[in-house]
């Protein structure tokens, strides 16, 4: 990313030259940070390599911010803060004898202050009881640099659901699309204040999540083609605006009205790069006259472009009933 413009001026005196350097220095200090600086991308990739292969939560809990929010696969699977994250993950990891992971796809976006990693990961696990388990998950991790250290502030892990049976697809083949082709200006801005950004993101969710037409929905992605959506249904990955439009065209054409409540909503931002994670209870009024209720989980990594927010990494999922393996699509105590 190149945000600063070259300035040319003749310096008649040393004093004028020094003054010009001071002006340039001030502008450079306030300029937006570089997109995907190699050291930031490398740091995120190293953290992901460490946490995905871990079998002891105590060794990796410090990678989570003290107030991190996690949406896990199996219901209720809602963890807020390190204590709950430890309590949620440690019993799962305690059953594992050995585990290998295959990061079939990982795309990272960072502005040096916030970052996101969108991943599809295959796990092969040998449990202590001798049973072998294979699982393919989608995951979006949102990071914030806190006191010079990258920490996970939001994490969303899910399995896609079979659209015919409603069962979670535990080990479906992963189709990897490879590295995302970023646009020439992935984070153009302009930025706003973090406080204003959080309010704008909340407003963005209140309107975007209740879209009643395909054109209205598509205004919340992009604005370029460098977008990934992990959808709630298998196979699950939508790459680019055309794929998103084609996927949602049929369902959006059947919606007359939509009402939403959010039992959980957490957003953070530096004013340019935004992240949000939520739980939605939706009531859809269909054009044929019926209604449909849905319980969704959603997370987004967003950029501010021309005063408006757009999602470029998104995950939409249903929590899964651990006993039946079925996606829980209707609001219940288990989804909250």
* DSSP characters over 270-283: SSSEEEEEEEEEEE
Higher-confidence residue of 7 and 255: namely: 255
pLDDT value for 12: 34
* CA atoms 212, 248, 237, 329: torsion sign: positive
Distance CA 34, CA 41 (A): 11
Q: What is the C-alpha radius of gyration for the chain, rounded to an integer number of angstroms?
A: 22
pLDDT in tens, 254-300: 999 999 999 999 999 999 999 999 999 999 999 988 999 999 999 99
CA distance 168 to 163: 9
Span 241-252, mean pLDDT?
Answer: 96
- Greatest alpha-carbon pair distance for the chain in Å reads 80
Please report whether residue 196 resides in a domain: yes
Residue 8 counted as domain residue: no
Predicted local distance difference test score (pLDDT) of residue 335: 79
Separation between Cα atoms, residue 142 and residue 335, nearest integer Å: 22
pLDDT score recorded for residue 15: 35
pLDDT at 2 (0 to 100): 31
Q: What is the CATH number of the domain that holds 277?
A: 3.10.450.50
> 71: Cβ–Cβ under 8 A, 6 or more apart, which residues?
77, 78, 155, 156, 157, 158, 277, 279, 297, 299, 317, 319
User: What confidence tier does 29 reach under pLDDT thresholds 50, 70, 90?
Assistant: very low
Distance CA 244, CA 181 (A): 16
What domain range is 43 assigned to? 38-174+187-335
Determine what percent of the chain is predicted with pLDDT higher than 90: 84
Q: Count structural domains, the chain.
A: 1
Is the confidence at residue 30, as pLDDT, over 90? no
pLDDT tens per residue across span 145-181: 999 999 999 999 999 999 999 999 999 988 889 999 9
Confidence check: pLDDT of 212 > 60: yes
| Residue given tokens 């994490």 in the structure block | 155
19, pLDDT greater than 60: no
Distance CA 35, CA 41 (A): 10
């Amino acid at each position: 990313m190149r945000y600063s413009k070259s300035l040319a001026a003749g310096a008649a005196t040393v004093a004028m030259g020094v003054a010009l350097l001071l002006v340039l220095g001030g502008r450079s200090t306030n300029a937006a940070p570089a997109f995907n600086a190699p050291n930031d991308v490398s740091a995120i990739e190293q953290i992901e390599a460490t946490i995905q292969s871990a079998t002891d939560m105590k060794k990796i809990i410090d990678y989570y911010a003290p107030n991190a929010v996690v949406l896990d696969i199996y219901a209720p699977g809602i963890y807020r803060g390190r204590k709950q994250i430890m309590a949620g993950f440690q019993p799962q990891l305690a059953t594992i004898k050995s585990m290998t992971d295959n990061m079939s796809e990982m795309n990272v976006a960072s502005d040096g202050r916030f970052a996101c990693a969108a991943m599809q990961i295959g796990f092969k696990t040998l449990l202590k009881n001798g049973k072998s388990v294979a699982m393919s998950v989608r995951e979006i991790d949102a990071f914030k640099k806190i006191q010079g250290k990258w920490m996970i502030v939001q994490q969303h892990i899910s399995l896609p659901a079979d659209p015919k049976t409603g069962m979670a697809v535990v080990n479906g083949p992963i189709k990897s699309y490879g590295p995302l082709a970023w646009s020439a200006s992935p984070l153009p801005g302009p930025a706003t204040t973090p406080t204003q950004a959080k309010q704008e993101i909340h407003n963005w969710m209140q309107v975007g999540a209740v879209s009643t037409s395909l054109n209205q929905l598509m205004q919340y992605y992009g604005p370029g083609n460098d977008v990934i959506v992990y959808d709630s249904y298998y196979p699950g990955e939508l790459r680019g605006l055309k794929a998103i439009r084609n996927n949602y065209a049929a369902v959006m054409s059947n919606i007359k009205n939509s009402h939403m409540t959010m039992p959980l909503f957490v957003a953070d931002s530096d004013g340019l790069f935004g992240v949000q994670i939520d739980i939605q209870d939706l009531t859809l009024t269909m054009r044929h006259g019926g209604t449909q209720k849905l319980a969704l989980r959603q997370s987004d990594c967003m950029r501010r472009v021309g005063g408006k927010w757009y999602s470029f990494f998104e995950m939409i999922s249903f929590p899964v009933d651990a006993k039946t393996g079925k996606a829980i699509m209707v609001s219940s105590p288990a989804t909250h």
